[in-house]
Structure 1
Amino acid sequence: MAELLIIIGVSTIIVTTLGLMNEASHRGHSALFFMIPLASLGQVQQGWEHYRWWALARVAGVLTAAVGTALFIMSHASEVPPAAGVSGQSGQVQRGESMATTTSFVTSEEAALAVVKGQGKALSGRIHGREFRYDRVALIDGVLTASQGEGFLPELEVRALIGWKPEEITERKNFLVTPSEANPPVVHVSWKPEGKDYPETQIFKGGYRMELALAPLDAGQLSGSLVLVVPDSFKSYLSGDFTAYTNHLRYLNGSVDLHFDHEDTLAYVARQYLLTQFPEGALETVTPRQVVLRRAESSGQVTARVVLTNGAEEERSVRLEKSDVGWSVEPGSMASRLIKEADQGSMSYTTPGQQQPLEASAQLEPISMSFPELVTFVDRAVVLEMTSGRKIDGVLRKVSVNRLWIEINVGSGVVERSFPKDELQSLVLGSGQKVNVDKGDTQTETTVAVPEVGSADSTTRAGSTHFSDTDDPRVEKFRGLLGQSVTVTADEGPARTGLLQSVESDHITLSVPVGAGNMEYFYDMNSIRSLEAAR
């Protein structure tokens, strides 16, 4: 509007000046006086009846140009660069005005075409004269943030203080702001000047155009689309679709970055762990309530409220530690506190390792079993009680003659570990029943009849009662590879390459490098298909 008034005013001044000069030449007056402002005032007064309409039109043109110039200055007042003393500071610079005035770009055809071009595509646009493609969009504490750059301070960022809470978005919600709307949400546009470490921010309290739509997508995620055109001299705008996160989790290749130090990362790891501690369909909600992060110690603790489908409510607390694989739950660190009993008549769930009610424990007497008989509990949740006093909870996966394998939750994944029978004292089943492991080797005494001397088949009978103590013939061959890098192929699982640490009569031990450490794998002789020196 301001530019249009200026154009009309200047055009009117030019046309009326030419008209006055033409009229003066017909009257025999000097036309040059009309080229100089106010110099022709006396001449116009003397020939008012001849010059009046041209003179009045010229005055109108001057007034129109003056009004347009004033509007242009007012609309661009917020875009005047800050003083040198302010812009030279190393900290963040914020500038704006309480009553922002829209510019012609906000409602222009150019902006409309740019917006249409970005619709249906990933959120992009132009911010402060730079191309923008979003890396992350988040809705946290009522602030919608779209940023470009993975650093702590993004290169480009737009924030809209819309005041929406993510948990209240249960269906698609729309937000429309027009340039003339009073008291719209405040919008911040931030950018990093070249050579500066801190961003500058321009604040808009009106005069912009915004079309926002958000809908629930997944846990901690919203799908949305945005159209934003702000009234700055750089013709900044955003348009396109996005996925917004409602927490501070960081993602790498579509997966949560477990190395990112933030309370939300710990809450995520703890929640994923708790989801594996109950049978399918038993959980209703798991809500982390308190998160403690100790960055200096690389440790933390999460307390969550667990609601079960049977009406029971519990408070579960787990300790976490940071290792080479990121944040994970310390095995055996979970503590529980019952808040509300299960509804009467509902099924109750028992957590391995938890103390059972007196009525239940009275019915489940401890039993004793030999180590090989533990195979009956494969694929069941158990708590191993070791001779050292440690307790390890997980899922029993395999039992051999002298060793068992258990699957343990680590972070959002699982790790399989094995333990020799000498370290196992007992285990507790999911029902709360304790199983003591009998490690005694029961030997059956065999009586061998000695044939009479001279018997015809004495040699044959004696041979039939002889038992060879010779080990598997492969044992000596494998022992020749001790301390070397070998590749082991077994009946189950992938082939592994590592350092052959030990060879026993019934199993071997293979040390495989994993990250900054090593993991030991134990193979029964009967399960080994081949063992060869690595090339």
Structure 2
Amino acid sequence: MDALLIIGGLLLMLAGLVWLVTRAFATSLLWGWGSLLPPITLIYIIRHWVRARSAVMLIGLGVIPLVVGLTLLASKDAERLAAIIRLDWLKPDIQEPAELAIELAGELNGQPFRPQQGELIDGVLTLREGLDFFALRELSIRLPQPVEGRVRVDVLPQDSGNLPEVELSWLLPEQDLPEARRLSRGYTLHLDLQPQEPNRLAGDFHLVLPPRFKTSLSGRVELYRDRLRYTDGQIDVRFDSRDTIAHVLQDYLQRRFATRNVSELKLPPFTFEGDTLEVQVEAQIDRRSERLPIRLHKRAGQGWAVDGDRFPALPAVTATQSSEAAPAEERLSRPVDRRQRFSLARLQRNPEQYRNLSMRLSRASGGTVEGRFAGLDADGSIRLSQQMGSGGGQASFSFKPEEIGRLELLEP
């Protein structure tokens, strides 16, 4: 609405100016050419008010919707209005260098696909185009099980059995939620990805879906294996991600308790809304369960650190000490797969059991959202959170139970 008011006001003002110049030419050729210069235009209006007043009134009429539109825009998006006033739209866009070397040719849902982000984490390969909460176009391939090291997958249309699940999603301008399509067979897929230090995979990618999906992609991709970022071979603690915070806390707990035996680190759901974080951390430290309140602060140029951290670094471990201290492997009982009996009713009865697990929600009215379960709102709505692009931020969405058509748990 604000854009229509602004455009309508500008068009009325333009029509009034054209009418005014036409009236000036009708008065005399000299006044006509002179009215093209703003100072002389004002003199013409004063000297020939009777002739000019209709055009001036039309210009004034255009000012009204223009002011109303700018006021609405300022109330909704002040930064956008400031950018318009600064004429930022006239400046050429400066393309930042891509973090990943993704060179794909082809299309997704009949549209060119130019992903800026890619990752293969917990057995899910994701390519995203767009940096918003919902990607403009997104491709996900869920492998039957997580893989370590080299990734090689070959699927033909006639294959059957436990195959990777392919999901496409795209967001149209007039939609609030993206559309999604999934298929588990009948496609061609070739992956040959080699690990690259410190945390990337790179290699060949080839995908052809049945004709009705209008999707065919081929080329080379580079993917992150986790949500850490590195600078000069060291973890960049300035990057906002859950993995970065886990790394900082792991290092802090090891130095605080003077032991490297820190495991099973558990973090509550959180979002990066400022430069401070307060979390309750649970961990096994020397086989003891510890629960600690910790406050972190992000310092400019230095990144995330625990407040009051003055503990010295641990001494370097020699190869002999490492082999002597290595604990014997323990047999662990196989964890229960919570996906087998998962349902919306079970989630509502015991939400803590599923907190921070990955889920896929399909709305009854259409559209699919995938994210991590962040809890139940006061009105019983299901809240999902999702990582926002490479910036590390998170966003959350809430859905009432009656809006949910299907809810799936994606990890055990």
Q: Which has the higher helix share?
A: 2
Q: TM-score range by the shorter chain?
A: 0.3 to 0.5
TM-score normalised over the length of structure 1: 0.33
Q: Which has the higher strand share?
A: 1
Determine which structure has greater relative contact order: mean sequence separation of CA pairs < 8 Å that are 6+ residues apart, divided by chain length: 2
TM-score normalised over the length of structure 2: 0.41
